[in-house]
Homo-oligomer: A and B are copies of this chain.
Amino acid sequence: MGALVESSIHCSVQALVERDERLARRVIEDEPKINQMQLDVDSRATRLLALNQPVARDLRLLIMALKINTDLERIGDLASNTAKRALALISLPQIKPLIDTPRLASLVEDMLHRSLDSFVNRDAALAEKILTDDDEVDDLRDAIYTELVAMMQTRPDVVEPAINLMFVARNLERIADHATNIAEEVIFLVSGVDVRHSSPSGKHQ
């Protein structure tokens, strides 16, 4: 599920950069598969909880799987939404550079990849590192917004594509938030310490 979600993000941004309509449509078609996986993981975790009545760390692991499952499904939604924005952008005149969108995307993809790695390897140190990356994502998104607003104020013809790009940046920033959630869960799992809502970077949205 993590792999499919990662690939969806990557392809949605690729579709945008290369103006590849077919690739965008593939991401949109893959979303129901991710949704189905969410239902499967949910029902398997619930069965395990019911049948094995785990305690302590096993219990935390299962609850965490349920939470990460929700995060991954939402990321799938955001990738699909990005692919829809890519389709809209392909149909509009190209506003030359995509600003820093590809850079933001690669930062976010990397965060998600490492957060999933930290889960698989129970690596709290790796997870910690991800929490600070989120600030960089927010800064980059702010820079993209500022540039797009300035563009729209001088060229009414770029309003529509610029708005689509703005929502792409927002989707990517929200994916980074979900990666941060996953990292926080890993830290909780490994250390038993709940860092949600405590670090300045550990913020949703």
Question: When the two chains form their complex, are residues A81 and B50 in contact, meaning their CB atoms are under 8 A apart?
Answer: no
Given contacts A163-B149, A166-B163, contact A63 B49 (CB under 8 A): yes
Known interface pairs A39-B197, A59-B49, A197-B32; A204-B74 also in contact (CB < 8 Å): yes
State the 9 A-B residue pairs at the shortest beta-carbon distance, nearest first. Answer: A35-B197, A53-B53, A77-B205, A153-B156, A152-B159, A77-B204, A153-B159, A50-B55, A50-B59
Cα of A38 to Cα of B32 in the assembled complex, Å: 29
Tell me which of B39, B77, B78, B149 contacts A194 (CB under 8 A).
B39
Q: What number of A residues sit within 8 Å (CB to CB) of B?
A: 41
Q: Does A196 contact B (CB under 8 A)?
A: yes
User: Which B residues are in CB contact (< 8 Å) with A205?
Assistant: 74, 77-78, 81
A10 within 8 A of B: no
CB distance from A37 to the nearest CB of B (A): 10
A63 with B36: in contact, given A149-B163, A152-B152, A156-B152 (CB under 8 Å)? no
Q: Write out the residue numbers on chain B whose beta carbons fall within 8 Å of the beta carbon of A55.
A: 50
Name which of A56, A66, A78, A152 has the most chain B CB atoms within 10 A of its CB. Answer: A152
Q: Contact string, A153-167, partner B, CB cutoff 8 A, digits 1/0? A: 110110110010011
Q: Which of A73, A157, A163, A170 lies at the interface centre, i.e. has the most chain B CB atoms within 10 A of its CB? A: A163
**Complex CA distance for A66 and B59, rounded to whole angstroms:** 13
Please measure, in the bound complex, the distance between the C-alpha atom of A67 and the C-alpha atom of B42, giving whole angstroms: 11
